[in-house]
Homo-oligomer: A and B are copies of this chain.
Amino acid sequence: MTSKDKNTELKILKAAKEVFIVKGLEGSRMQEIADTAGINKSLLHYYFRTKDNLFDAVFKDAFFSMIPRIAKMFESDISIFNKIEIFVNDYIDMIVQNQYLPNFIFHETNRNPEKVVFLLKDVGLNPMLIIDIFNEEIKKGNIKPIDPKQLIINIVSMCVFPFVAKPVMKGLFFNNNEKEFKIFIEERKKQVTNFIINAISIK
């Protein structure tokens, strides 16, 4: 029985992630992944048998690095406004480190929506927990009455969307200047936090 080399497997996964995340499933070539990993093309098949298998491994990992994080960030014991501030800062920071992640996930989930259902069953992610947190705050009169789902989507939208629309935004607002875009994003953390707080706090 031949056992697989964990080190090689990780090299492959790392390379596959690099390529898939930028070019997507159908835009990626096994050859390019092999080159990126510095190994032979047929080794990919030895370790993962098919392109789809390799892709699934990468996708699952990417999906879980982005989605459950939302829930985790609201689990601390500080005020709701602080929670929002920390979430906005951390989530934007995370995406800055993984610029292609949002587009990758959304493109692939749209191409293959069934996969999401399957993946979500795997992870112990219950959005009800966050929803309850917001409902509690509303009941206590700390924030305005609002559908928590709508509020959560608002928060996440404003953090993630600029990266999804980055090329269009850069062209429209920043003369395609990467540096200006970066400054905008850095400034955005404060702006979004304040925007949300203004929208939900009781005067």
Contacts and interface: CB of A to CB of B under 8 A. Distances in A.
A176 interface: yes
A120 B203 contact: no
A152 B100 CA distance: 23
A94 interface: no
A60 interface: no
A161 B157 contact: yes
Given A103-B106, A198-B200, A169 B153 contact: yes
B24 A168 contact: no
Question: How many copies of this chain sit in the oligomeric assembly?
Answer: 2
Contacts of A127: 172-173
A138 interface: no
Interface stretch (A35-43, A76-84, A107-115): A107-115
Contacts of A200: 198
Interface stretch (A2-10, A11-19, A47-55, A185-193): A185-193
A167 B116 contact: yes
A151 B39 CA distance: 48
A144 B67 CA distance: 33
Interface string A139-181: 0000010110111011011101110111111111100100000
5 contacts: A109-B168, A146-B191, A157-B160, A157-B162, A198-B199
